[in-house]
């Protein structure tokens, strides 16, 4: 069975501060891991994807994530938050031909 | 390249009524998905098509939900009769082939059941 746990349903940071969104996964087979972003009243947009190549994955808009097998984690980071980063972020795992999403983390960025 | 199209964007119905949602995937994408996203939760897969065939419908409430993908392109998701707990955003996504490929999402249909 697969599952995803996103720690923190809400995260608030100052503009220019480090963004860290946490994701832990469970999978009995080597997983594919994804981070998606959802802006209000829009569908999900892929930020980045891990497919067992490099453990550090760079995505769009300055985001990156590191796959740590020993910690079963795939945390999302961005060195400097921008107001436009305010959105909901979803971590997802795919190991059995099905994408399983976490509950999401709402990121707020304040001036 | 055109993205995944969905209509309508919003729908309000009363319980026990029926409703249908339409999805047009990205051209050439063999796999199509319908997800249900309840407020405050991540999307949950309802059904997955590979071309015309159903790959996974294990979480589709088949007593009230149905879906079809005619000719391996457009798809329709129907709810009949609707219940209050069906209020959610229904997202359609498509991918080139397997579900490990990147899935591209449409804007969703927000359903409110009164």
Mean pLDDT of A16-36: 93
Sign, Cα dihedral of B60, B65, A6, A99: positive
Instruction: Give the pLDDT score at A86.
Output: 96
CA distance A40 to chain B (A): 10
Instruction: Give the pLDDT score at B27.
Output: 93
Instruction: Give the pLDDT score at B99.
Output: 62
Per the CB < 8 Å rule, is A98 touching B4? no
Instruction: Provide CB contacts within 8 A for B32, sequence distance 6+.
Output: B23, B25, B48, B49, B69, B75, B92, B93, B94
Instruction: Give the pLDDT score at B2.
Output: 80
Per the CB < 8 Å rule, is B102 touching A46? yes
Q: Is B27 at the interface with chain A, CB within 8 A?
A: no
- Our measurement of the distance from residue A97's CA atom to the centroid of its chain's CA atoms, rounded to an integer in Å, reads 19
CA distance A101 to A92: 4
Cis bond before residue B81 (omega within 30° of 0): yes
CA distance B42 to A101: 5
Per the CB < 8 Å rule, is B107 touching A41? yes
Is a pLDDT exceeding 90 seen at residue B113?
yes
Residue the block writes with tokens 């972020």: A89
Centre a 10 Å sphere on the Cβ of residue B84 and count the other Cβ atoms it contains. 10
* Confidence bin at A90 (pLDDT 50/70/90): very high
Mean pLDDT estimate for chain B = 93
Instruction: Give the pLDDT score at A29.
Output: 80
Is a pLDDT exceeding 80 seen at residue B1?
no
Q: Calculate what percentage of chain B has a pLDDT beyond 70.
A: 97
CA distance B95 to B76: 17
Q: By the 8 A CB rule, do B94 and B25 touch?
A: yes
Report the chain B residue with the minimal C-alpha distance to residue A101: B42
Q: Is B111 at the interface with chain A, CB within 8 A?
A: no
Is a pLDDT exceeding 90 seen at residue A51?
no
pLDDT in tens, B70-105: 888 999 999 999 999 999 999 999 999 876 788 999
């Amino acid at each position: 069975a697969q599952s995803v746990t996103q720690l923190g349903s809400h995260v608030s940071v100052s503009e220019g501060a480090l963004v860290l969104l946490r994701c832990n996964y469970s999978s009995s087979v080597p997983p594919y891991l994804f981070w998606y972003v959802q802006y209000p009243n829009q569908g999900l947009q892929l930020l980045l994807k891990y497919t067992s190549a490099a453990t550090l994955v760079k995505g769009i808009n300055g985001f990156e994530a590191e796959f740590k097998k020993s910690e079963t984690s795939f945390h999302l980071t961005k060195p400097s938050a921008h107001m436009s980063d305010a959105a909901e972020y979803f971590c997802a795992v795919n190991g059995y031909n099905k994408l399983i999403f976490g509950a999401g983390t709402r990121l707020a960025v304040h001036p | 390249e055109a993205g995944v199209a969905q209509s309508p964007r919003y729908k309000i119905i009363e319980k026990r009524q029926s409703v249908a949602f339409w999805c047009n995937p990205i051209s050439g994408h063999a796999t199509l998905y319908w997800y249900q996203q309840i407020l405050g939760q991540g999307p949950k897969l309802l059904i997955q098509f590979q071309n015309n065939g159903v790959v996974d419908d294990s979480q589709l409430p088949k007593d009230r939900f149905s879906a079809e993908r005619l000719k391996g392109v457009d798809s329709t998701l129907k709810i009949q009769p609707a219940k209050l707990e069906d209020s959610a955003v229904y997202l359609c996504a498509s991918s080139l082939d397997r579900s490990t490929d990147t899935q591209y999402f449409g804007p969703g249909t927000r359903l409110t059941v009164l």
